[in-house]
Amino acid sequence: MSFLITGGAGYIGAHVVRAMVEAGERVVVLDDLSTGVSERVPEGVPLVTGSTLDRELLERVLAEHEVDRVVHLAAKKQVGESVEMPLHYYRENLDGLRTLWEAVVAAGVRQVVFSSSAAVYGMPDVDLVTEDTPCAPMSPYGETKLAGEWLTRSAGRAHGVSTACLRYFNVAGAASPEMADTGVFNLVPMVFEKLTEGQAPRIFGDDYATPDGTCVRDYIHVADLAQAHLAAARALAEPGPVRHLTLNIGTGEGVSVREMIDLIREVSGHREVAADVTDRRPGDPARVVASAERALTELGWKARHDVRDMVASAWQGWLLHHPQARRD
């Protein structure tokens, strides 16, 4: 028996695949390679190129590889793009998930782990975000993740499938340089790009009600996130009644944008490039930090890497593709 990992050639997906393989699990990857990279998939792991919208392909993969557990990461995930292309996001993220569930039920799969996001919370006005904090997503991307949780839990209950919905906070770092995030959509690679070009990183507002006036976020190392998937999958496989878990995956510690940029400047050696402060972006909450206590209680999982580990490992991955950024 084996795992199907959708989106397993992506930045996060490849780390999940690696964690599963290192733990002795059999894995097959399905990825349309629109953003995934085939070279990230370990040697010996089957890679099927295709979409979760393809019901026939899904049924064939589930049968041929004797899949009994699924980890679903395949999705479109850019907030700004989702505002411009909501129909595309609903099709890819929700129709793809619905089609996957139809194949899962027909094949008798017993466990599904769903990749969700802290974007389901929107702008929570709390010090620590718990899983019981009201959800009010502010983008089509966040809406598809919340609706995906609803679909996953409802289908799981109706068909006796154990489920876990993992709400990621801000993911960064890399287990090895070749597995680093190659996109420039999140704070860490965005700052790397500016420093490489000799330009000032931007801080969007420094007048928030936080210690240094800049937004505070919870950053999670991608290797810790991968271990959370493994822990969730194994928890669902334990003997006993069907389970339905919804869990924050974060560290419980906040880092401000200014603190993160200063750390990146230090680690990268680009200390001479100071940040510029510009106007706030609409919709940016002052603070979004996870309570990860439920993940510890339910899975025995806790993040082990600190923010310096995240930045240092991400920088080594950046240098692999941008050697001109090096400061020796």
Per-residue pLDDT of the chain (328 residues; tens, 9 = 90+): 899 999 999 999 999 999 999 999 999 999 999 999 999 999 999 999 999 999 999 999 999 999 999 999 999 999 989 999 999 999 999 999 999 999 999 999 999 999 999 999 999 989 999 999 999 999 999 999 999 999 999 999 999 999 999 999 999 999 999 999 988 889 999 999 999 999 999 999 999 999 999 999 999 999 999 999 999 999 999 999 999 999 999 999 999 999 999 999 999 999 999 999 999 988 788 999 999 999 999 999 999 999 999 999 999 999 999 999 887 6
What's the CA gap between 74 and 165, in Å, rounded? 14
Q: What is the largest CA-CA distance in the chain?
A: 59
Half-sphere exposure of 207 (CA within 13 A, CB side): 5
Catalytic residue among 11, 89, 90, 141: 141
Phi, psi of 197 (to 5 degrees): -85, 0
Rounded distance between C-alpha atoms, residue 159 and residue 108, angstroms: 9
Contact (Cβ atoms closer than 8 angstroms) between residue 104 and residue 162? no
Phi and psi at 9, nearest 5°, equal -100, 0
Structure tokens at 316: 């080594």
Q: Quick check: helix, strand or coil at residue 98? A: helix
pTM: 0.96
DSSP helix/strand/coil, 115: strand
| Chain position carrying tokens 């919370």 | 121
Inter-axis angle of helices 96-107 and 55-64, nearest 10: 40
Told to judge if 89 belongs to the known catalytic residues of this protein, a careful annotator would answer no
Q: Are 252 and 295 in contact (CB under 8 A)?
A: no
75 is written with which tokens? 């999705």
Q: Which amino acid is at 211?
A: P
Dihedral through CA 114, CA 35, CA 144, CA 236, nearest 10?
A: 0
Per-residue pLDDT, 328: 62
Element (H, E) at 308: helix 307-321
As a whole number of Å, the CA-based R_g of the chain is 19
* Cα gap 53→245, rounded to integer Å: 25
Task: Set out the domains of the chain in order of their start, with CATH numbers.
Answer: 2-170+220-249 (3.40.50.720), 172-217+251-289+304-325 (3.90.25.10)
pLDDT at 239: 94
Q: Distance between CA 115 and CA 133 in Å, rounded?
A: 18
